[in-house]
Amino acid sequence: MLKYIARKTGQAGRIIYIGHSLGTTTFLEYGSRFPDQVKNLVKLAILMAPNGGMQNTKAFFFRIGVLFTDVIRLVTHTEMTKLFTPRGILKVITKLCRASPTLMEYCIRVINLTTLGPQKETDASVAPIVFNQFPEASSLKVYQQIAAETVDDFRAYDYGSRNFFVYGQLKPPIYNVSKIEVPIYLIYSKRDWCTTSKDAEILFGRLHPRAKIYGRYELSDFNHNDFLYSKHAKSVVYDKILNLIDSARTLELIGSDVNEK
């Protein structure tokens, strides 16, 4: 995707990557595996509710996943995976939650208590919007990998007995985020039960010194999805992101002037 954007725009090395939750995981995994490519493509990465390890997560939904590792592997290799597509269980659950405003509010409370964290930043009026986009189907392999992070490190996918044939070692390799030299700006919240402040701080500590030049930003009252739906998301998060982007562009211009002189 990044290569495609760079090719179409001619802006290689000036792309600003903005991700939330699994979108941050994708960047960290890619950057760890191909640090030189990221360095040549991306100018700045802004990661909201970053997932670079979840050992301190309070999300019950992911905590229990490690208890069913073998079952998930079995399901992943059978037709049962269709149950977890929009035409399966998730479609039934989503339809039920959309049935009335009361059920929408109840479903959101259940999701918050099991996964996202307490919510006071999002109005009930946006519930229809939330359920038009969430929950969405996801790969069981992704769920299994996230669940594994709750008891282990930030590693590649665990193939079990096939790890040696895939990776040349018994355990999946750890993603070494310190290889990423592109500036990374982390935005996280104390109220986020899924990707916690503690895990975000651990991730920040592992970053390359060059990746830390803009620091990080901790919020107090956002849960995991408030980054997307909060009534204060623009003033608290998005405006700050835009200011950071402007600062990065200013530094780029200053650097260009210095190099020319």
| Complete edge-to-edge strand list for the sheet that includes strand 184-189 | 15-20, 42-48, 184-189, 216-219
What tokens appear for 166 in the block?
């895939």
Q: What is the pTM of this model?
A: 0.81
Token pair 């007995």 is at which residue? 161
What tokens appear for 172 in the block?
């999946």
Range of lowest pLDDT (2-11, 23-32, 45-54) = 2-11
pLDDT at 78: 52
Where residue 254 falls among pLDDT bands split at 50, 70, 90?
very low
What tokens appear for 94 in the block?
């989503």
Q: Which run of H or E residues covers position 249? A: helix 239-260
What tokens appear for 68 in the block?
């069913």
Strand partners, 20: 48
Average pLDDT, the chain: 81
Provide the residue type at 200 as one letter.
A
Q: Which residue has the higher pLDDT, 206 or 118?
A: 206
Helix, strand, or coil here: 87?
Answer: coil
Where residue 27 falls among pLDDT bands split at 50, 70, 90?
very high
**Percentage with pLDDT > 70 across the chain:** 74
d(CA 139, CA 95): 20
d(CA 47, CA 189): 12
Q: Which residue has the higher pLDDT, 101 or 168?
A: 168
Answer whether 26's CB lies under 8 Å from 45's CB: no
Between the two ends of the chain, the Cα-to-Cα distance in Å is: 35
**What is the tens place of the pLDDT at every residue in 60-89?**
777 776 666 655 555 555 554 544 554 555
For residue 216, CA distances in Å to 52, 181, 187, 239 come to 14, 16, 6, 15
Token pair 């040696």 is at which residue? 164
Q: Which run of H or E residues covers position 227? A: helix 226-229
**What is the tens place of the pLDDT at every residue in 138-156?**
666 777 777 788 788 899 9
In whole angstroms, how large is the CA radius of gyration of the chain?
20
Provide the residue type at 210 as one letter.
R
Structural domains of the chain sorted by starting position, each given as residue range(s) with its CATH number in brackets: 2-260 (3.40.50.1820)
